[in-house]
């Protein structure tokens, strides 16, 4: 593949809901452009962009894949992006390195949630957009219903630039409103200059709306059009280009990714109406990064993959300068040098070695030492560091356990590689809960992560429900003696102390005070008593959870000149604490989450009702626009284990939420009893096993 100047490059994300036909559209675009001799299919598992074994088995896209195409002396870097919300991380990364998105949707009245999410992210990044209406050959295809929905949701900036010829099973081609030609059959098919009978009136009406939109894109065109002069095809295309760049126009094309109808005209529109890197320069600290191949290097890593054989592969967009093979670069984010050893152009499942990659283009580099997703490669002189990618926080969590000792040894390195590849995953070892927690964007996301651990890295884990980090404390005062005495022949063990416990304000932690007088307990044994208390607080005295907000005062005791030891007083301190705590009105504290739920207006009642069943307290509701309302509530964490899945069901995937721990409150008595009973049962079972 030859080197292209930035004005001849188009970086385009192919986005939309899972199952809308993105991967087959990319496949047919490759075939139409002559990049391959035969078509693959998702069902056969032989497409260019879905080549990961897990993608082939599940028949869905799990990873963003770069597939370049050459078309009419232009290079189009297509990036096939996963469409299911669980895998939204790649969409956030890709949005940082493309100038435009093609939003693929099925020809039906309802819009899928993946389409809406992609639209929202395109808006956030100010990306040019066009819509490709797919599956017009389906029996249930409803093109007119879709247009009504799009206009109702996004306004009249969504503009048809084509009309389908034939309906459902009779769909046979498209009428291009720019040049008023009909393209029948797969790929470009047969060109017809005459508009078929029955389409003339619709073509005139839709073309007039398209001309209105094109004229709004350019002041000179607007003047000419208002004067009643006809715009040429070139002028219309220019007006649509300018309108698309600014977001004032969203062109809508159509076809069939399965049969290839409309694919060639889509490729034409990409180079004719979607912007190049030259037309959309990026900003760095309020200064434009000029896509100049001889400028200072600024190359941004938007995705990292962890191959068990090749190692780390970084996908790079060059915004300025030229990235060269064997060059020494400066990782401005990590502030370390990097040498570019293996530079190549990714072609889906294959690759093409490169000696240099100029500004505007996308490439990949293998075996960089420190570079990760969100890092910038620059020169040591300029040290340009572009803004890192903001990924959504995980919303679903599970506990994981290595299946064997061998798996335990391999888990750490495997998890590290997995997190490098997917920044929307999070892994923590929680010593308080004695559990390893894996967090992600949903159940499917975590299922795939666990499968990757097994297939790629040979690590098998079992899963369990993530435990809730309850806390234990007291509400009253109490005194108790802790006496440890053991005589087993020879030197014995003796420790004796009296403790007083009292509650502290929430969040105060732990206070230890020594009020022993007269040498009842030698000073050198006092730290041992405190240590015994602290160890007991870590393990809990009711249900195995950490104890907080307690003051312990040792005020009396006794000792033996020979048998007393630090260990004996440590045990005595533990016994005294447990005995006093049991009589100090013990309670269990549960974490309360502050949650903000964004839900469609017609689902708000169901969302609120569901939160009420979780002992939630609603603090307010506020319209957020576009038919959505934000619900603010405080809800116990213990009731939120599967909330990500339940909210998806309630809102048909359109509800989203964010949450954080707000505070701790007392767990209701009935729930406390159940928690203590479950802990005792597990403890007894564990003792019987051992």
CA–CA–CA angle 657, 658, 664 (5° rounding): 120
Type and span of the H or E element at 538: helix 526-539
Reading across the β-sheet that carries 250-254, which strands appear in turn? Answer: 65-71, 74-80, 9-15, 100-106, 128-134, 250-254, 158-160
pLDDT tens readout for residues 487-522? 776 678 999 999 999 999 998 999 999 999 989 999
Please answer whether residues 548 and 432 qualify as being in contact, where contact means their C-beta atoms are separated by less than 8 angstroms: no
Domain with CATH 3.40.50.300 in the chain: 6-280
Domain with CATH 3.30.70.870 in the chain: 396-467
Type and span of the H or E element at 531: helix 526-539
Homologous superfamily, domain 283-378: Translation factors (2.40.30.10)
Give the contacts of 93 (CB within 8 A, at least 6 positions apart): 64, 302, 303, 373, 389, 391, 423
589-669 maps to CATH 3.40.50.12780: no
DSSP of 616-678: -EEEEEEEEETTEEEEEEEEEGGG-TTHHHHHHHHTTT--EEEEEEEEEEEPPHHHHHHHHHH
C-alpha to C-alpha distance for 552 and 574, rounded to whole angstroms: 11
C-alpha to C-alpha distance for 269 and 21, rounded to whole angstroms: 19
Best CA proximity match to 166, nearest among 24, 25, 262: 262
Domain with CATH 2.40.30.10 in the chain: 283-378
C-alpha to C-alpha distance for 641 and 560, rounded to whole angstroms: 52
Please answer whether residues 264 and 34 qualify as being in contact, where contact means their C-beta atoms are separated by less than 8 angstroms: no
pLDDT under 50: residue ranges of the chain: none
* CA atoms in the 13 A half-sphere facing the CB of 50: 30
Please answer whether residues 184 and 192 qualify as being in contact, where contact means their C-beta atoms are separated by less than 8 angstroms: yes
3-state secondary structure of 322: strand
Domain with CATH 3.30.230.10 in the chain: 472-584
pLDDT tens readout for residues 643-659? 999 999 999 999 999 99
What the block records as the tokens of 679 is 């802990």
What the block records as the tokens of 71 is 């078309």
User: Which of these CATH numbers, 3.30.70.870, 3.50.50.60, 3.90.190.20, 1.20.1250.20, describes 396-467?
Assistant: 3.30.70.870
pLDDT value, residue 683? 78
pLDDT value, residue 293? 94
Q: What is the CATH architecture of 6-280?
A: 3-Layer(aba) Sandwich (3.40)
Phi, psi for 98 (deg, rounded to 5):
-110, 160
Q: Just give the CATH number of 472-584.
A: 3.30.230.10
């Amino acid at each position: 593949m030859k080197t292209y100047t930035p004005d001849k490059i188009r970086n385009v994300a192919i986005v939309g809901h899972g199952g809308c036909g993105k991967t087959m559209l990319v496949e047919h675009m490759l075939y139409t452009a002559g990049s391959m001799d035969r078509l693959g299919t998702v069902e056969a598992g032989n497409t260019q962009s879905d080549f990961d074994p897990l993608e082939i088995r599940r028949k869905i896209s799990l990873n963003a894949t770069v597939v370049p195409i050459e078309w009419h002396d232009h290079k189009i870097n297509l990036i096939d992006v996963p469409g299911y919300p669980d895998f939204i991380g790649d969409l956030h990364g890709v949005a940082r390195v493309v100038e435009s998105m093609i939003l693929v949707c099925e020809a039906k009245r309802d819009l899928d949630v993946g389409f809406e999410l992609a639209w929202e992210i395109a808006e956030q990044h100010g990306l040019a957009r066009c819509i490709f209406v797919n599956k017009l050959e389906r029996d249930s295809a409803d093109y007119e219903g879709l247009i009504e929905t799009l206009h109702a949701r996004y306004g009249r900036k969504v503009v048809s630039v084509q009309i389908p010829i034939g309906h459902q099973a009779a769909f046979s081609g498209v009428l291009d409103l720019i040049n008023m030609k009909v393209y029948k059959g797969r790929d470009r098919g047969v060109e017809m200059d005459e508009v078929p009978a029955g389409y003339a009136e619709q073509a005139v009406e839709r073309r007039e709306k398209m001309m209105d939109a094109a004229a709004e894109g350019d002041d000179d065109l607007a003047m000419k059009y208002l004067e009643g002069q006809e715009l040429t095809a070139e002028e219309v295309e220019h007006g649509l280009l300018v309108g698309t760049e600014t977001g004032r126009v969203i062109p809508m094309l159509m076809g069939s990714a399965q049969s290839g109808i409309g694919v060639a005209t889509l490729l034409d529109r990409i180079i004719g109406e979607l912007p190049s890197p030259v037309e959309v320069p990026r900003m760095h600290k309020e200064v434009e990064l000029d896509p100049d191949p001889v400028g200072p290097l600024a190359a941004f890593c938007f995705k990292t993959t962890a191959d068990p054989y090749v190692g780390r592969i970084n996908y790079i967009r060059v915004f300025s300068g030229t990235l060269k093979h064997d060059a020494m670069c400066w990782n401005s984010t990590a502030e370390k040098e990097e040498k570019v050893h293996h530079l190549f152009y990714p072609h889906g499942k294959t690759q093409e070695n490169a000696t240099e990659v100029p500004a505007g283009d996308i490439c990949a580099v293998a075996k960089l030492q420190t570079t990760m997703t969100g890092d910038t490669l620059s020169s040591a002189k300029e040290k340009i560091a572009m803004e890192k990618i903001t990924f959504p926080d995980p919303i679903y969590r599970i506990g994981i356990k290595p299946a064997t000792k061998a798996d335990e040894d391999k888990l750490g390195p495997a998890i590290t590689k997995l997190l490098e590849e997917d920044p929307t995953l999070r892994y923590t070892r929680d010593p308080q809960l004695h559990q390893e927690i894996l967090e992600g964007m949903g159940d499917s996301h975590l299922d795939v992560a666990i499968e990757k651990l097994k297939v790629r890295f040979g690590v098998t884990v079992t899963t369990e429900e993530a435990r809730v980090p309850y806390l234990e404390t007291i509400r009253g005062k109490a005194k108790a003696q802790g006496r440890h005495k053991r005589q087993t022949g020879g030197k014995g063990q003796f420790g004796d102390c009296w403790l007083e416990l009292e509650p502290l304000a929430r969040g105060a932690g732990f206070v230890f005070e020594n009020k022993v007088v007269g040498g009842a307990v030698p000073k050198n044994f006092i730290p041992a008593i405190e240590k015994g208390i602290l160890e007991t607080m870590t393990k809990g005295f009711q249900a195995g959870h950490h104890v907080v907000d307690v003051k312990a005062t040792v005020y009396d005791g006794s000792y033996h000149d020979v048998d007393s030891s630090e260990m004996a007083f440590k045990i005595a301190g533990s016994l005294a604490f447990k005995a006093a705590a049991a009589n100090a009105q013990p309670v269990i504290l549960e974490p309360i989450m502050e949650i903000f739920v964004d839900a469609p207006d017609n689902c708000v009642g169901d969302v609120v009702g569901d939160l009420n069943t979780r002992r939630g307290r609603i603090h307010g509701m506020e319209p957020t626009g576009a038919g959505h309302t934000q619900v603010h509530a405080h809800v116990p964490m213990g009731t939120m284990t599967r909330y990500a899945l339940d909210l998806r069901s309630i809102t048909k995937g359109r509800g989203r939420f964010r949450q954080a721990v707000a505070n701790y409150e007392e767990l209701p008595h009935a729930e406390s009893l159940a928690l203590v009973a479950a802990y005792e049962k597990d403890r007894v079972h564990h003792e019987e096993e051992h």
